[in-house]
Amino acid sequence: MHPTRSSTPDLPAGTVLSPEVADALSTGRPVVALESTLLAHGLPRPENRAAADDVEAAVRAGGAVPATIAVLDGVPHVGLTADEVDRVCADPDLAKLGVRDLPVAAALGLSGATTVSSTALLAAAAGVGVFATGGLGGVHRESVDTFDESADLTALSRTSLVVVCAGVKSILDVPATLERLESLSVTVVGYRTTTFPGFYVADSGSTLDWSVADATEAARVFAARRELAPGAVVVANPLPLDEQLDPALHDRVIAGALAAADDAGVRGKDVTPFVLDHLHRASEGATLAVNVRLVLRNAELAGQIAAALAEVAR
């Protein structure tokens, strides 16, 4: 089967849908979007390639079709073939593309992995209502001085889809990020909890006003949100306590990673990949194992929510 060029008005011209994704969307079957930045910049090689297959398998286990999103030679792809996943995972120079970078990549025929913001944009434009990731971007520590805040937050305020995550990345200012999400009117619910997860650990120290008990409730919240106004529903899915990173190790390696980034003069979008690599080495691989585990859990839950959303829509 050959890839399908999308004619959906909201998608960039020439966007390619994989045959499976195109068929699922045309027949109303559930689809879950996956970002490619996790593969290209969030996980080390060659572990990232095996993780790519495992994450897509987790979406299928949840009852949905996976749609990994990337830009290849200037063309957005919603759903990747095995060869295209190979390419994303193998290229050490693949660009990191947020929403602001998409027009540059399109105009100049460049390739790149999509972040949360650009994945959400392309997914929603394609008609994909659910997106699974690891952790969201947010307000960085010391943002009062640096004004460093992820574009994920404003993108989610404008984009209608469910985002399943394990909170925000541990290197961020969690309370400030939750305040910004509230200011931007992004709906945030905990999955079977009112404790906001801390990515590698189950408890970030912040709480939530609302929770959902199962995938059907999450789908119903999103269906109601979609009727009211544009914007995302963030479903925060914590790791079980017996699967989280040891909290003492977590605090130690995070402090060390942030200090190393500061000493190296790393700024902006380069901070996250630098810190993730430092964490992997400092924890002797423990953070990598937890990162993969939480993404798999989020992917399966996202598949369940997408399947429930398909039922709600009928």
Q: State what percent of residues in the chain have pLDDT above 90.
A: 70
Tell whether residue 91 is among the known ligand binding residues: no
Given this model, what pLDDT does residue 14 score? 85
pLDDT for 180 equals 94
CB atoms within 10 A of CB 224: 12
pLDDT band of 7, cuts 50, 70, 90: low
Q: What is the mean pLDDT of residues 117-137?
A: 95
Q: What is the mean pLDDT of residues 132-150?
A: 74
Indicate the length of the chain as a whole number: 314
229/143 Cα distance (integer angstroms): 29
Question: Could you read off the pLDDT of 59-80 as tens digits, one per residue?
Answer: 999 999 999 999 999 999 999 9
259 versus 218: the higher-pLDDT residue is 218
Instruction: Label residue 258 by pLDDT band (50, 70, 90).
Output: confident
pLDDT grade, residue 13 (50/70/90)? Answer: confident
CA atoms within 13 A on the CB side of 263: 8
Percent of the chain with pLDDT over 70: 93
Q: Are 220 and 235 in contact (CB under 8 A)?
A: no
Q: Where are the domains of the chain?
A: 16-313
Q: Domain 16-313's class?
A: alpha beta
What pLDDT does residue 312 have?
81
Q: Which residue from 20, 87, 100 is spatially nearest to 59, judged by alpha carbons?
A: 20
pLDDT in tens, 167-219: 998 778 899 999 999 999 999 999 999 999 999 899 999 999 999 999 999 99
Report the 10 Å Cβ neighbour count for 74.
Answer: 17
DSSP H or E segment with residue 13: none
The answer to pTM > 0.85 is yes
Measured between its terminal Cα atoms, the distance across the chain in Å is 29
Give the residue numbers marked as catalytic.
Answer: 35, 169
- Which phi and psi (to 5°) does residue 271 adopt? -65, -50
Q: Is the pLDDT of residue 305 over 90?
A: yes
Is 96 annotated for ligand binding?
yes
Q: What is the pLDDT of residues 39-60, one digit of tens each?
A: 998 888 898 999 999 999 999 9
Compute the average pLDDT of residues 123-130: 96
CA dihedral 216, 221, 226, 232 (to 10 degrees): -100
Is 269 annotated to bind a ligand? Reply is no
| Between residues 23 and 41, the one the model is more confident about | 23
Strands 233-236, 4-5: parallel, antiparallel or unpaired by DSSP?
unpaired
Respond yes or no on whether the N-terminal peptide bond of residue 3 is cis (omega within 30° of 0). no
User: Is pLDDT larger for residue 246 or for residue 105?
Assistant: 105
Average pLDDT, the chain: 90
Give the span between the Cα atoms of 111 and 102, in whole angstroms: 10
152 is in an annotated binding site: yes
Q: Does residue 163 register a pLDDT over 90?
A: yes
Out of 41-45, 153-157, 236-240, 274-278, pick the least confident.
Answer: 274-278
- Residue for token pair 């050490």: 92
* Residue 246 is assigned to a ligand binding site: no
Among 38-47, 115-124, 287-296, the range with the most confident prediction by mean pLDDT is 115-124
